[in-house]
Amino acid sequence: MNKMKWIGWPIFILFVIFLTSSFIFELPLEKTTSHTKKPKLATALTVGNEILQDFPNVTIHFEREKAVDREIYLEQPIFQKEATNDQITSWIKEKQSKHYHEISLESKKISNNFYQFLLTAKRGSDEDVLPFIVDMEKEDIKPLEDFFTLSDSFMDYLLSFLEKNLNIDQQTLKQRIIPLEKRMWIIKDNTFLLYLKDGKNEENFEIPDFVEIPLEDLLPYATKDFIKKNELLSQTLKKEEKKQLEKKRKKEKKKILKKEEGKQKKIAFTFDDGPHPKVTLNILKTLRNYDAKATFFMLGSEAKKYPEIVKQIAAEGHELANHSQNHPDFTKMDSKSIEEQILETQKIIEQISGLETSLIRPPYGSVNDQVLSVANNSGISIILWSVDSLDWKSRNANAVYHTVMNNVKEGSIILMHDLYPSTAEALPRLLNVLKDQGYAFVTVSELLEEINAEGIGPHRGI
Ligand code: ZN
């Protein structure tokens, strides 16, 4: 094996040198020969090759032929890959057969791997172009879908761009210059150039040769690969991602703020034994002033007397609740009578307000197993309280204020009565100070939700 290698290497190297040299010298020679073979009255022929910047495997071939009556000029990129050359050559041949005497080439590196080429064929004032992009690693002419996802949304974007910039309606656009993906295009100086004319649809139809769309506007449709390889798009993406991140952060911040806002200390004021033709109206006015909501545990008998006040309580967003028909002690009654007290009041409130109440506060807060069982069967929650304002005892606004302030905390259910003028008098001061301390005044139902109190109760608040 050693011996074989020893002999094999020099031969191999010689072979490589032979191949390389034949390639280097063959290519331009062949071109020159084929050109001189043409039966033309050539007076002068200039032929040359330049190496494409950064890609020594690709040459730019040019030839200038001065004939008696005209000058023929050709510039063409020559790749190692024959299939790629064939594609380009066939376009050039077609143009030359139609007497385009000048074919010039512009080339530009658009990213590490991609080069853009633009062949322009001229015939007098006529011009035709062949733009194409080449993946320099594989020497393939790249189709549009390598750069952009040819999704409906991309097409829609292009259509609306054309509609806006050409002032042509989509219907006409669709009929005349669709399918867009079959149009010629090129990426030039961070601009996506879409060529619109194809020689078939120009009749009576004023359209420009091409439209220019800023590349960064096409970021949402660019393929990952293209973004990675294109500096502008990668930068735009980074900026975009940064913006998104910033947006997300702001959103999160807002969420946290909102959460903190939502964490306002909620308490529920409750008023029993009404409605009262004066005191209840006074209380309603104060609640309105402080944007406070409360719960009114009303007696069926009083509700029946003052239906307009019941309606007003409901209309102003407060909660209507049951406090029995005429204030008996439920623990001293049989089930049937308790049920009657509850249902009769439910019926009255519903008839007046159209609202079904779901809360009951048994008079005196008197509850036993029997009361619980009746409430359970009626599907109504028993609500007691955690702060007794003792307004029924003191009948003094100052005393009411201090009793409440000394006991209130987040989650409190506060017992008051819309019967005593002193209670109505204490309320504005209470709401004013408690509001400053960050309390929000909600209905019992809302508070129960907040403190996750479930079932029939009795619920007392916190
Ligand atoms: Zn009561």
pLDDT at 204: 57
Confidence class for position 423, pLDDT limits 50, 70, 90: very high
Ligand 1 centroid to 304 CA: how many Å? 16
Sign of CA pseudo-dihedral 430, 434, 436, 442: negative
The answer on pLDDT for 7 being more than 80 is no
Mean pLDDT value across residues 224-240: 84
The rounded distance, in Å, linking the Cα atoms of 294 and 306 is 18
From the list 61, 323, 417, 459, the catalytic residue is 417
Ligand 1 centroid to 356 CA: how many Å? 20
The answer on pLDDT for 298 being more than 70 is yes
Mean pLDDT value across residues 433-439: 92
Dihedral pair phi/psi, residue 415, rounded to 5°: -90, 125
- The string of DSSP codes covering 98-109 is TT--EEEEEEEE
The answer on pLDDT for 100 being more than 60 is yes
pLDDT at 414: 97
Confidence class for position 158, pLDDT limits 50, 70, 90: confident
Confidence class for position 86, pLDDT limits 50, 70, 90: very high
Instruction: For 12-65, write each residue's pLDDT tens digit.
Output: 554 444 444 444 443 343 333 344 444 445 567 788 888 888 888 899 999 988
3-state secondary structure of 275: coil
Instruction: For 353-372, write each residue's pLDDT tens digit.
Output: 999 999 999 999 999 999 99
Instruction: For 172-215, write each residue's pLDDT tens digit.
Output: 777 766 666 667 788 877 888 887 766 555 555 677 778 899 98
The rounded distance, in Å, linking the Cα atoms of 157 and 9 is 59
Q: Confirm if 357 and 324 have CB atoms less than 8 A apart.
A: no
The answer on pLDDT for 430 being more than 60 is yes
Ligand 1 centroid to 435 CA: how many Å? 27
Lowest average pLDDT, out of 34-38, 74-78, 326-330, 349-353, goes to 34-38
pLDDT at 346: 95
Ligand 1 centroid to 325 CA: how many Å? 11
pLDDT higher at 247 or 268: 268
Ligand 1 centroid to 286 CA: how many Å? 21
For residue 152, indicate whether it is catalytic. Answer: no
Mean pLDDT value across residues 158-163: 86
pLDDT at 252: 79
Ligand 1 centroid to 309 CA: how many Å? 18
Ligand 1 centroid to 417 CA: how many Å? 7
The answer on pLDDT for 159 being more than 70 is yes
The rounded distance, in Å, linking the Cα atoms of 218 and 227 is 10
The rounded distance, in Å, linking the Cα atoms of 140 and 127 is 25
The answer on pLDDT for 68 being more than 80 is no
Confidence class for position 259, pLDDT limits 50, 70, 90: low
pLDDT at 78: 94
Residues found in the chain = 462
Ligand 1 centroid to 385 CA: how many Å? 12
The answer on pLDDT for 152 being more than 70 is yes
The rounded distance, in Å, linking the Cα atoms of 444 and 383 is 8
For residue 272, indicate whether it is catalytic. Answer: yes
Confidence class for position 67, pLDDT limits 50, 70, 90: confident
Ligand 1 centroid to 64 CA: how many Å? 110
Instruction: For 110-124, write each residue's pLDDT tens digit.
Output: 777 788 888 889 988
Q: Confirm if 387 and 407 have CB atoms less than 8 A apart.
A: yes
The answer on pLDDT for 234 being more than 60 is yes
The answer on pLDDT for 4 being more than 50 is no
Question: Cβ contacts of residue 38 below 8 Å, gap of 6+?
Answer: none
Dihedral pair phi/psi, residue 279, rounded to 5°: -60, -45
pLDDT at 173: 75
Assign 3-state DSSP to the chain and report helix, strand, coil percentages, each to 5. Answer: 50, 25, 25
Helix (H) or strand (E) holding 324: none
Ligand 1 centroid to 323 CA: how many Å? 7
pLDDT at 128: 82
From the list 272, 273, 391, 418, the catalytic residue is 272
The answer on pLDDT for 309 being more than 90 is yes
Q: How far is CA 47 from the centre of its chain?
A: 58
3-state secondary structure of 443: coil
The rounded distance, in Å, linking the Cα atoms of 126 and 98 is 11
